[in-house]
Structure 1
Amino acid sequence: MHRAAGWVLRGVRNPPKTRSRSGTARSPPRGLVYGQHGEPSAVVQLKDLEEAKLGGSDVHVKMLAAPINPADINVIQGTYPILSPLPAVGGNEGVGEVLEVGQHVVALKPGDWVIPASTGLGTWRTRGVFPEEMLLKVPRDIPVLCAATLSVNPCTAFRMLSDFESLAPGDSIIQNAANSGVGQAVIQIAKASGIKTINVVRDRPDLPKLVETLMALGADHVITEEMLRKPEMKDLFKSIPKPRLALNCVGGKSTTEMLRHLQPKGTMVTYGGMAKQPVMVPVSAFIFRDVRLRGFWMTQWRKDHAQDPAALTSMMDSLCQLIRRGQLTAPACTEVPLQDYQAALEAAMKPFISSKQILLL
């Protein structure tokens, strides 16, 4: 990660224009750069980047689109477990088109679409030169927004639905932050597998519209955090089995309330902490219902499976098949030109925003 991040950013403000193979003048690449950690609106700047030389094992990529994810914000703020050397280009996810490849590159060719194989690539840029091993080829027959948002949220949803409980058609799961990118992917992947979903969201002014959106994705039930605490929840379980799996991205009271509805010996997986409050679990849940608490981080999964490329390839193939069949779509997106990055960063940090900001590069 550090090699790639340091390689493609030289911090040059106004490098000279270079020429392409056709001899025409080519503008230098541009990117969203931060030289120190802090609030994105204060530290991120749009700058010209140096034109990196293409090594024998390198790939020159024209970035097409890249989302702004919560983890990207945390990296810029300096609160994420993995930080890039400064100065750095922001962004850990996106899709690009291969322009040129080095003489030793065998798996990629000009025209291919690629996404990051791991975090730290610095995707908020117009062009970049990356080592081949930092990139993963994806098919060009899927929508560009699906490709741009493929490597984080859908993968997280896929792994959590696959790795913790052996779910069968008719089983149910419960999740909070159901309107998030991961939550939307969970709904669709579960629906395609015949798994019922109970989806918890915070109350908000546009709640009916949000409920309609999630139901259209395939949600079986959409309830608020307040409804989760009411006795009427027992009526819901007359038509759907109690969940064997709970997915927690919030923490605090939301976790405790979801846990109450989990089957004995069920599993709760925590992958985020939006409430910035600890996970609170009654002792009785351990003693009398033997529930299991686990954690998940997609970055760690990639590290653990670095020597097993078939596992990553199989997951990506499965997700792309769902996309082709129309069973998995990109999350609700707002497309923003690169020069309007300040508005995109501000929107990405607002509460009750269900639309992911996508930088068009």
Structure 2
Amino acid sequence: MLKLNSSFRSLASRSLSTRQLFYEKRGKPEKVVQLRTIELADTLAPEEVLIEWQAAPINPADINQIQGTYAVRPSLPAAAGLEGAARVSKIGSAVKSVKPGDQVLTSYVIPGTWTDFGIYDQKNLIKIDNDLPIEHAALFKVNPPSVYLMLKEYAQLKKGDWVVQNCANSAAGKQVIQIARILGFKTFNVIRNRENLGELVKEMKDMGADEVVTEDELYDKKKKIKMPRAKLALNGVGGKSSLYLATALESGGCMVTYGGMSRQPTQAPTAPLIFNDISLRGFWLMTWILAQKDERALQKMYADLSGWMKSGEIAPIPMVKRSLDEHEEALAEAQVKFDKKQVFFMKKQ
């Protein structure tokens, strides 16, 4: 029997079986992740909650954690999956924060979302809007709050201001386009060239993108593409692409790095650093979450995002729905196909 994730309570009496994706060593996700059946306690402690997972995505952070290249390295064997949405099935006698049927996320320090059921202490659950569709709720924990905070915390943007970004066709990039549009900001979006370029550009402009260019077009001196002056640049790629973003910053502007898809160091031009006092910042959602002492900021963010999603102002991220049994194929595709998110749905759709 595998050692269970620490979020599960180990009791002598067990009756509920659950499938869960585990890995016993770090490496290529499609090779090391395995599907196991484990038993959960049939009795809940007073503060515990039994939840049934509905859907959970494969994010770059999941891939990196399984590979062993992420900042957080759980002890092995480890339960996989950092994000997802669930419904409360049963509560302990002292639980007051949630009730059966509530839609919940697990806290930002609890992994193990690629499973059917889980038992958690009530303090490790976050209640979200019960009416938020699962296509939004499953991907609600990471990208939407990250984008919301990057757009609000690092520059004093006014309506009509430009935000420049690379990795613009990723799940996070598409939400930058939509949330910036809602807040009244313009976006200049850099993507990689591809076969379906025209189709992708149309999709992004339908979301609200003001300008979309490829890296090849941006780097081609003959095309003379002029980037707008911006107070904020969002960098998810690094390398040469980040250099161009930083060059677009106006005096006092800020480039926020939240990812490094190129696996190359983030670059910045020397003259703007010295003479324009531009700044380079890093963003990790966990840092902001752990620093919050007032829950009202978190709840306002969730309420804003939920409202925009339910009204249709933020569209669901395009996804490929997978069963847990399809984990090998889903993990392989998550590393090479970025236009659609691979998402585990625990029940047949």
| TM-score normalised by length of structure 2 | 0.93
Of 1, 4, 23, the match for 1:34: 23
The gaps in structure 2 that reach 5 residues or longer are none
Q: CA deviation at 1:80?
A: 1.0
Q: 1:141 to 1:231 in 2, by over 3 A?
A: same
Q: Please give the secondary structure, in 1, of the residue aligned with 2:202.
A: helix
Q: State how 1:86-235 maps to structure 2 within 5 Å.
A: 86-230=76-220
Q: 8 Å contact 1:68–1:91 — kept in the other structure?
A: yes
Runs of 4+ in 1 over 4 A off after TM superposition: 230-237
Q: CA deviation at 1:84?
A: 2.2
Q: CA deviation at 1:17?
A: 7.8
Q: 8 Å contact 1:247–1:270 — kept in the other structure?
A: yes
1:41 partner amino acid: E
Q: 8 Å contact 1:228–1:258 — kept in the other structure?
A: no
1:341 aligns with 2:327: yes
Q: Please give the secondary structure, in 2, of the residue aligned with 1:83.
A: coil
Distance in 1, matches of 2:136 and 2:194, equals: 27
Q: 8 Å contact 1:6–1:88 — kept in the other structure?
A: no
Alignment correspondent of 1:7: 7
Q: CA deviation at 1:235?
A: 6.5
1:210 partner amino acid: L
Q: 1:251 to 1:357 in 2, by over 3 A?
A: same
Of 303, 314, 327, the match for 1:317: 303
Q: Please give the secondary structure, in 2, of the residue aligned with 1:129.
A: strand
Q: 8 Å contact 1:335–1:357 — kept in the other structure?
A: yes
1:51 partner amino acid: L
Instruction: Tell me the matched-pair count.
Output: 342
Distance in 2, matches of 1:150 and 1:290, equals: 35
Q: CA deviation at 1:88?
A: 1.7
Q: Please give the secondary structure, in 2, of the residue aligned with 1:266.
A: strand
Q: CA deviation at 1:228?
A: 2.0
Q: 8 Å contact 1:5–1:85 — kept in the other structure?
A: no
1:329 partner amino acid: A
Q: Please give the secondary structure, in 2, of the residue aligned with 1:99.
A: strand
Distance in 2, matches of 1:65 and 1:9, equals: 22
2:301 partner amino acid: M
Q: 8 Å contact 1:9–1:88 — kept in the other structure?
A: no
Q: CA deviation at 1:325?
A: 1.6
1:343 partner amino acid: E
Q: 1:207 to 1:16 in 2, by over 3 A?
A: farther
Distance in 2, matches of 1:261 and 1:280, equals: 13
Q: Please give the secondary structure, in 2, of the residue aligned with 1:29.
A: strand
Q: CA deviation at 1:218?
A: 1.1
Of 278, 286, 298, the match for 2:273: 286
Alignment correspondent of 1:303: 290
Q: 1:323 to 1:64 in 2, by over 3 A?
A: same
Cα offsets for 1:232-286 (capped at 9, x unmatched): 787656xxx5211000011110011112222121110001111111112222121
1:46 aligns with 2:35: yes
1:354 aligns with 2:339: yes
2:265 partner amino acid: P
2:33 partner amino acid: V
| Identity level (%) | 39
Q: CA deviation at 1:193?
A: 1.0
Distance in 1, matches of 2:48 and 2:325, equals: 28
Of 252, 256, 267, the match for 2:239: 252
Distance in 2, matches of 1:157 and 1:340, equals: 30
Cα offsets for 1:169-189 (capped at 9, x unmatched): 100100000011111111110
Distance in 2, matches of 1:280 and 1:191, equals: 28
CA RMSD of superposed structures (Å): 2.0
The gaps in structure 1 that reach 5 residues or longer are 19-26
Between 278-287 and 186-195, report the one with greater CA deviation: 278-287
2:231 partner amino acid: R
1:77 aligns with 2:67: yes
Q: 8 Å contact 2:107–2:124 — kept in the other structure?
A: yes
Alignment correspondent of 1:23: none
Between 41-50 and 106-115, report the one with greater CA deviation: 41-50
Q: CA deviation at 1:318?
A: 0.8
Distance in 2, matches of 1:265 and 1:335, equals: 43
Q: CA deviation at 1:330?
A: 2.4
Q: CA deviation at 1:227?
A: 2.0
Distance in 2, matches of 1:343 and 1:285, equals: 45
Distance in 2, matches of 1:246 and 1:207, equals: 23
Q: CA deviation at 1:127?
A: 0.3
Q: CA deviation at 1:5?
A: 3.6
